[in-house]
């Protein structure tokens, strides 16, 4: 339920990485700004701010979403997971290792968003055919040329098959 204050801010409670955060915000506040500026979770990066680069990707109820295209008030009943939340998951270490060993990042600006998308596919579509190139097409990386990222994904898929 939306409650307006005197200055037209609204009370919002978002569940991020399993913790509730209640704030008074402008109704137009983006989810990406809520995550970074209100909660201080700066692992989510903001690049283009209009849905193109994928840097701001987080998980909303387990599915990847551009946090620069969602209003904070809009996701109130849902669960948001950022890279800080993923880093506490038991399966995160193998993703981190695959990215590290394959030099799948340089400046790292795009990495949190890519990891969120890859994570979602590995968790939610295990054993199913995934078009990884299509997935990566939603993420702009200016540094790596994508080869390292593709190799990291290949390693992760190989691990999955061996399990
Ligand atoms: S900052 Fe959201 S897609 Fe670029
Ligand atoms: S590692 Fe720099 S933008 Fe991807």
Work out which ligand 2 atom sits closest to the CA atom of 142: 3
To test the pocket of ligand 2, the residue of 56, 103, 109 to mutate (highest count of ligand atoms within 8 Å of its CB) is 109
pLDDT of residue 131: 86
117 three-class SS: helix
How large a percentage of the chain has pLDDT more than 90?
81
The residue nearest atom 3 of ligand 1, judged by CA position, is 51
Strand partners, 152: none
Domains of the chain: 3-85 (3.10.20.30), 87-162 (1.10.150.120)
List pLDDT tens digits, range 111-153.
999 999 999 998 887 766 788 888 999 999 999 999 999 999 9
pLDDT of residue 59: 98
Work out which ligand 2 atom sits closest to the CA atom of 107: 2
Burial call 118-149: b when 16+ CB within 10 Å, e when fewer: bbbbbeeeeeeebebeebbebbbbeebebebb
List pLDDT tens digits, range 77-115.
899 999 999 999 998 999 999 999 999 999 999 999 999
User: What predicted TM-score, i.e. pTM, was given to this entire model?
Assistant: 0.92
For range 50-61, the mean pLDDT: 98
To test the pocket of ligand 1, the residue of 30, 44, 68, 82 to mutate (highest count of ligand atoms within 8 Å of its CB) is 68
In the block, tokens 């939603």 appear at: 138
Reported as a pLDDT band with limits 50, 70 and 90, residue 163 is: low
């Amino acid at each position: 339920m939306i409650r307006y204050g005197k200055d037209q801010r609204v009370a919002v409670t978002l569940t991020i990485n399993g913790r509730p955060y209640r704030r008074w915000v402008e109704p137009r506040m983006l989810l990406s700004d809520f995550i970074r500026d209100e909660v201080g979770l700066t692992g989510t990066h903001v690049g283009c701010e209009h849905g193109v680069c994928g840097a701001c990707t987080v998980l909303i109820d387990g599915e990847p979403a551009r946090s620069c295209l969602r209003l904070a008030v809009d996701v109130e009943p849902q669960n948001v997971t950022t890279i800080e939340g993923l880093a506490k998951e038991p399966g995160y270490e193998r993703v981190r290792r695959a990215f590290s060993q394959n030099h799948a990042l340089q400046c790292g600006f795009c990495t949190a968003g890519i990891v969120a998308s890859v994570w979602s596919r590995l968790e939610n579509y295990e054993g199913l055919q995934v078009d990884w190139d299509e997935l990566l097409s939603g993420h702009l990386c200016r540094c790596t040329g994508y080869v390292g990222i593709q190799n990291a994904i290949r390693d992760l898929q190989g691990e999955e098959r061996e399990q």
